[in-house]
Amino acid sequence: MKPFRFTLQRLLDLREGAAVAQIRRIVAEAQAEVERLQQERSRWLHTDAFTSVHGDVERFERTNLTAWIVELEHRIHAQQEYLQTAREQENQALAVLLERSRERKKVEKLKGRQWEEFKKEQTRQAGRELDEVAIRAHQGRSTA
């Protein structure tokens, strides 16, 4: 006979996994934002190099462009720090999930052992009762 399995266990597992999935989504979004900012910075750096070669931009516009590139670099740095924090949270959540999974398996093994012990005791008890019935039946025949 299979050990008892809680019918909603899968739902509990999915809920714990949902927390990790949410953190993974945050990490993916942060990574995408870093990449978007880096592409924008690259595009503006390319524009800055192009205009410095061709001299099409006035000095004021070049100053603004340089300031914008510096601002993009600050944003990239901030987003990378956010991404690193999100990754650390993801690792922590995975560690917690793994530990919970281990603990759950231990409890399930213990529950299975207790169930087997319970079944053995029930079998012993049923055997004792049958023995007692047989003894009484035999004693009844002996006295008659």
Buried b (16+ CB within 10 A) or exposed e, 75-114: bbeebbebbeebbeebeebeeeeeeeeeeeeeeeeeeeee
| Residue 21: both structure tokens together | 């999935």
Q: Full-prediction pTM beyond 0.85? A: no
Higher model confidence: residue 49 or residue 74?
A: 74
pLDDT for the residue numbered 50: 52
